[in-house]
Structure 1
């Protein structure tokens, strides 16, 4: 494919139909067509392994599959086999299935730092349940979230802090405090500013950068000293950092943690896990005179086929060394992209960041500032070369040939990028409006 001839007429029609019936044209804003160059937002027909096909018949090497959820590749045989075994046995009953026993045992064996687990369907339910549990356990209302992390929940306690806060009462956001990642002194200052008010600290244990030495242990100590609950959002770090999550890799145990995304390889399953004494507040065992917490109660939270998928994912990760493979693939890709960018004279402008298993890229302008226009130019060229990459997050289904082809396409994109930098204006290469940030006040 070439950017001058790449045409997606069926995808364009499908996008119009989506917008006519579905607000935003997708079921998560990160998949919106505003995240892609104008008229170049492919609508997917199907996927297999590390490749997807759009409704126009084009094949792409795919990165960031399912917003990082499909880490084993599409239609992974071990996962599909496990799901199929359950489909003919029924998916939902009036009482718990024996599959729930096996799934909980498997999860707690994989994440031994947790003592209990409850499954749900999405990450927002799990993080919001963790916050509610922390508020109940501490008797405090204020939540402290890490200001450097882009997303925790669709619920009011988080969305109220974003530019898309319409419809959320100010009283809700007034109960939120923030702290910067990696800065223990600033976090302690925040805790001191709200003495005996902070119910919990919630953050991703690691992101595009590794935690500074002693940082997570320092947070653990601060939480203990100030009497608040430490929550790790492991939606992304879970499995990609290690099978036991970042907490297993770095050796710092939170009070509560949440998992999702890679847990089901695309099937809908998430988990809230943590200390028994906290989790039991949402249970049925005698708690004396303590009020019960409505923790998680989801009709579809324990669908048997999704739990079977989760168990198959965990088995595959452990038996096939998936985390190590993700890192190896990511390292090969990062090295190739950096070399290609340097060779084309844009090494300071096309920047790969993050842990090898969770790579993102930045597109910087002439002044080395983030640029949506240059991101649009870059994405157009990637799509033209058959690479669908809102990020460079790898799946284990990629092979060396996929990586090498991606690097070739990146080199071609970087050559155009250099031309735009030399011209001092990327507009002639955009062919339409630039891509837009997800969180913005106006459409």
Structure 2
């Protein structure tokens, strides 16, 4: 969990938890930790948020699944469309990986083309992976776009031309996107008749309700949502232009539990809490406090920390060597902090500046002891 370590490699870092509340988790020995993993970014309000739990409990009492889609599905779709106007229609699924795959399939249906250009991480399914077990014929349909390289992106999209079905990108990859890169994506996909998909699984409901598309003002054709959408309950979605979403009736996108009522209820209430508590404003403020502290640690411990990655809402430290990152993870755990060592750390509504100050003090102690 803390960097893809093999079993035993992260000795001293807890492997299992018994409960979680707010921004804290407890292991089997009863030890308490301040958490920045936040279920890999799936929890933005804090673990066990009372309003969300109550909504989930009511949905359980009403019947989790049945022979017909629940009214909650329509209510949540309308709630999303009100907050993210370019989502004209939406399809709910269970995981981000299948939601991105659904977006790609819809783009292929709409264009009659097969080629995909992508940037960032889009899940483990075959269409975007070069992993062992993926057929070479499938791999050949996917190629990488360089993040924030406007000239190369323009060239690759034009070279793909009328073979290109879709460009799917994470709009934030370690750093913010440049306006030029986003505009090149928008203009060039329109030029060649391809679909532009923003994979906002990490960024929606954090940078803004409407994610990077809202913050930076460039609208995709389709948008993929997940993670913080339901504050840890399993739910994802693909949404966007009506004409593209109509492709659902021309292909097959189905999941037995896609519209079970518990996650839908959790998501509907999560959106209400995000509005009421100005959650994205809070995440930016507290995340900025954390990010500034990480930059200070980089300046003071440059022999161990080689840089800071990410943005306020999701950030991490670069370390000089793998063994240093492991030792930092262990040292943080010993001081009651779970801090990802090779990937994004996330704050939540349950974190505040005081919590972050305690974490930064712990990181300072760990790095000072190693220096």
TM-score range, shorter chain: over 0.9
Question: How much is the aligned-residue C-alpha RMSD, in angstroms?
Answer: 1.9
Separation in 2, partners of 1:79, 1:35: 36
Mapping for residues 42-57 of structure 1, pairs under 5 Å: 42-57=15-30
* 1:61 lines up with 2:34 in the alignment: yes
Deviations 1:160-196 (A, max 9, x none): x2xxx12111111011122101112212221233331
Separation in 2, partners of 1:383, 1:39: 7
Task: Tell me if the contact between 1:241 and 1:323 (Cα under 8 Å) persists in the aligned partners.
Answer: yes
| TM-score, normalisation: structure 1 | 0.79
Mapping for residues 128-139 of structure 1, pairs under 5 Å: 128-139=101-112
Separation in 2, partners of 1:31, 1:44: 18
Q: Would the alpha carbon gap of residues 112 and 380 (structure 1) be closer, same or farther in structure 2, given more than 3 Å must change?
A: same
Q: Aligned to 1:44, what secondary structure does the other structure show?
A: coil
Task: Tell me if the contact between 2:186 and 2:218 (Cα under 8 Å) persists in the aligned partners.
Answer: yes
Separation in 2, partners of 1:179, 1:35: 36
Q: Aligned to 1:240, what secondary structure does the other structure show?
A: coil
Separation in 2, partners of 1:197, 1:272: 23
Mapping for residues 228-377 of structure 1, pairs under 5 Å: 228-283=194-249, 292-294=250-252, 296-343=253-300, 345-346=301-302, 349=305, 351-364=307-320, 371-377=321-327
Separation in 1, partners of 2:288, 2:234: 29
Task: Tell me if the contact between 2:51 and 2:269 (Cα under 8 Å) persists in the aligned partners.
Answer: yes
- The farther-off stretch of 329-338 and 48-57 is 329-338
Mapping for residues 123-272 of structure 1, pairs under 5 Å: 123-146=96-119, 149=120, 151-159=121-129, 161=130, 165-272=131-238
Tell me how far 1:356 sits from its aligned partner: 0.7
Matched residue, 2:63: 90
Q: Aligned to 1:71, what secondary structure does the other structure show?
A: coil
**Aligned residues, how many?**
368
Matched residue, 1:14: none
Separation in 2, partners of 1:56, 1:382: 17
Deviations 1:94-134 (A, max 9, x none): 11111111111111112111110011100011000111111
Separation in 2, partners of 1:35, 1:213: 44
Deviations 1:80-102 (A, max 9, x none): 11111111110111111111111
Deviations 1:350-400 (A, max 9, x none): 533222111122112xxxxxx211111111111111100114321110123
Deviations 1:24-43 (A, max 9, x none): xxxx8977665962353431
Separation in 2, partners of 1:228, 1:249: 23
Task: Tell me if the contact between 1:361 and 1:392 (Cα under 8 Å) persists in the aligned partners.
Answer: no
Q: Would the alpha carbon gap of residues 239 and 34 (structure 1) be closer, same or farther in structure 2, given more than 3 Å must change?
A: farther
